Amino acid sequence: MRSMSNQVMSALKKDYIYNLMLKGERADGRSFDEVRDIELRTNVIDKAEGSAWLKLGETEVLVGVKLQVGTPFPDSAGQGVIITSLELNPIASPDFEAGPPRENAIEMARVTDRGIRESGAIDLSKLCITEGEEVWMVFIDVHVLNNTGNIQDAASMGAIAALMTATLPAEREGKGEDAPLPIRDMPLAVTLVNIGGSMMVDPGLDEEKVCGTRITIISNQDGSISGMQKSGDGALTEEQLLSAVEMACEKASQLREAHLLNI
């Protein structure tokens, strides 16, 4: 009985969102290309080398960056190491369960990691202490505190903001003087969903649940693309994809200027 009730509610919600879309509207009153309000605070965790709290609409994430000396990967002996994790805390949503990371959490961590890695946001060569022996390891931990949709974009911005405040604890490790983490780019993810043929930026939770396709596009400061991730069974036309890329790059540029350039 409960399953049937949920199916009816889901169908009604889908019809409601779809009918709003036909009128050029969204449930929260935003336009299709409008991102929810963002609040960002940095240096919020005393014991982390870098940290940020970010609120996107009512979606909240807390990001901590820890740095320690470790061994490089064999195929990149002269470069530092990045390891990104994302935790969906049960307190953030009744849909999240305690225990090992679920598939969607692993996917979002990988997308966040990919944007940072492929953009060259961190100059990993400057994290080498002794080639083949010692490098700095950068641990990026994203904790989701509340979910009202689009965790991916919140995690992306929160992670780069935390990295921009991070300091190499060289004195603590006996490796010289402390120094800022060598940041050289600010990649940002912008997610869009396709509902009834219309592309909407920064989907809310209900929009995520009813969309046919979701695409996340990570762009760099120069407008180049460092990552892209599509999910859902639906397809995108070439025109929709090009429009999504243009919108994502435009929104990322606006978000950088509004929230990151003054960190």
Please list the alpha-helical segments (H only) found in the chain.
2-22, 103-119, 151-164, 170-173, 205-210, 238-255
* 9 falls within a domain: no
- Range of 82-91, 178-187, 230-239 with top mean pLDDT: 178-187
Supply 20's token pair.
């709003």
Percent of the chain scoring above 70 in pLDDT: 96
C-alpha distances out from residue 96 to 45, 124, 207, 244, Å: 24, 34, 18, 29
Question: Binning pLDDT at 50, 70 and 90, where does residue 8 land?
Answer: low
How do residues 202-228 score in pLDDT, each as one tens digit? 999 999 988 989 999 999 999 999 999
User: What backbone torsions phi and psi does residue 193 show, to the nearest 5 degrees?
Assistant: -120, 150
Q: Is residue 197 part of a domain?
A: yes
| Residue 13 belongs to some domain of the structure | no
Question: By residue range, what is the domain housing residue 207?
Answer: 30-260
Confidence band of 92 (pLDDT split at 50, 70, 90): confident
Name the residue among 222, 215, 218, 223 with its Cα closest to residue 241: 215
- Tell whether 196 is covered by a domain: yes
184 falls within a domain: yes
Distance linking the first and last C-alpha atoms of the chain:
52
Read off the pLDDT of residues 60-91 as tens digits, 9 standing for 90 and up: 999 999 999 999 999 999 999 999 999 998 88
Give the chain's domain count: 1
CATH number of the domain within which 124 lies: 3.30.230.70
pLDDT at 201 over 60: yes
Residue 59 within a domain: yes
Whether residue 228 is contained in a domain is answered as yes
User: Could you tell me the pLDDT band of residue 23, with boundaries at 50, 70 and 90?
Assistant: very high
Q: Is residue 201 part of a domain?
A: yes
